[in-house]
Amino acid sequence: MAVEDTAVLLAGDGHGAIAVFQGLLKGGFRPTVCTLDPELMQLADREGTGSISRLEEWEQIASGIVIMAGYKPIVPAEIILGSRILNIHYSLLPAYRGVHSTVWAMINGEPEVGFTLHEADALVDNGPIIWQEKVRVLDHTAWELMLQMDRLVENGIAEALAEYLSGDRIPYEQDYGSATFVGRRNKEDCRINWAWDAVYFSRVLKALVPPYPRPFFSYEGMDYDIVEAEVVHRYYTEIAGRIVYRDHESVWIKLADGLLRLRLVEAAGKSMRAVDVFTKVGYRLQRS
């Protein structure tokens, strides 16, 4: 039996799962999908591959292979132990096991991010590695890097799976001793601390972009998301978090070792120019 005839279930939601689905189709696989994602359900319906809402409903789970990509429910231990399950995780495992891994990697200043296809076991993001790809961070935002990884996944997943099924790609164990672990970021985690140094602030601006929460701060009882800004590396002593200057197109806020040049913000769903909002030069946005 050709490896393309192996029954495949894709379990997951979001852009990564869609990339896997499209890549498997290109490689000759016909995956059933287990998803609550309307876009992925629509794709499966259009291709006639079928969809289910719970992994346990798949009749071929004992004989086929499952690929998880952004699958949120906890998989029962008896299914993991009695099935062939792979997981695709957007980090270079064993680093950044957990949630929002790309954002955490960028905030930590990693020069590269990437994704890993691995065999799943009872521990989150554990299990032998089958396939990894790296992407240089450079000056990209988190979302731009996600899209690059999606393209790599789409272009390579079918070949990686076929080689794994045929025995031509041998998994290798993760080094648990070098693993790092991260958790889900929420809105409050994105609140700015004006004591951050300029390098860290630059990372935050690139990492925290839609569709994830933007960095934000409070001003006179209102929360403002940063939409457009740049960090200026200019060291001198002033009060971090103080509005120190306004020009025709931006507001300048002192950082610990630089300046934030703020142009656009958003509050209550409305985008506005910073110079139209922050009019009080000398105002301290944060007091220690």
Q: What's 236's domain CATH number?
A: 3.10.25.10
Phi, psi of 150 (to 5 degrees): -55, -45
What single-letter amino acid sits at 189? D
70 shares a domain with 159 = yes
Is 288 inside any structural domain?
A: no
**Residue 137 and residue 132: Cα distance in Å, rounded?**
16
**Residue 270 and residue 207: Cα distance in Å, rounded?**
22
Is 124 inside any structural domain?
A: yes
Please enumerate in sequence order all residues whose Cβ is within 8 A of that of 22, keeping only pairs 6 or more positions apart, or say none.
Answer: 43, 154
SS3 content of the chain, % helix, strand, coil (to 5): 30, 30, 40
Is 273 inside any structural domain?
A: yes
Out of 147, 182, 217, pick the residue that ends a domain.
182
Residue/partner pairs of 69-73 with CB below 8 Å, 24 or more apart: 69/10, 69/11, 69/12, 69/14, 69/16, 69/17, 69/19, 69/20, 70/12, 70/13, 70/14, 70/16, 70/17, 71/11, 71/12, 71/13, 71/17, 71/34, 72/13
> What pLDDT score does 173 carry?
98
Is 283 inside any structural domain?
A: no
The DSSP code for 94 is T
> What pLDDT score does 77 carry?
85
As beta bridge partners, residue 133 has 115
Contact 101, 91 (CB under 8 A): yes
> What pLDDT score does 287 carry?
66
Is 282 inside any structural domain?
A: no
Is 287 inside any structural domain?
A: no
86 shares a domain with 58 = yes
Kindly provide the b/e burial profile for residues 33-47, where b requires at least 16 CB atoms within 10 angstroms of the residue's own CB: bbbebeebeebbeee
194 shares a domain with 172 = no
105 shares a domain with 208 = no
Out of 152, 182, 212, pick the residue that ends a domain.
182
Q: Radius of gyration of the chain from Cα atoms?
A: 23
Phi, psi of 17 (to 5 degrees): -65, -40
Q: In total, how many domains does the chain have?
A: 2
> What pLDDT score does 129 carry?
98
177 shares a domain with 73 = yes
194 shares a domain with 178 = no
172 shares a domain with 121 = yes
Residue 55 sits in a domain of what CATH number? 3.40.50.170
> What pLDDT score does 2 carry?
67
The CA-atom distances, in angstroms, between 51 and each of 21, 54, 69, 269 are: 12, 9, 15, 35
74 shares a domain with 29 = yes
Contact 226, 261 (CB under 8 A): no
149 shares a domain with 30 = yes
144 shares a domain with 11 = yes
215 shares a domain with 128 = no
Give every residue of the chain whose pLDDT is below 70, as ranges. Answer: 1-2, 4, 287-288
Please enumerate in sequence order all residues whose Cβ is within 8 A of that of 63, keeping only pairs 6 or more positions apart, or say none.
Answer: 7
- Domain range for 80 is 3-182
Is 286 inside any structural domain?
A: no
Q: What is the pTM of this model?
A: 0.94
Is 213 inside any structural domain?
A: yes
Out of 131, 162, 182, pick the residue that ends a domain.
182
Q: Which of 39, 9, 64, 26 is nearest to 153 (CA)?
A: 26
53 shares a domain with 13 = yes
**Residue 9 and residue 56: Cα distance in Å, rounded?**
11
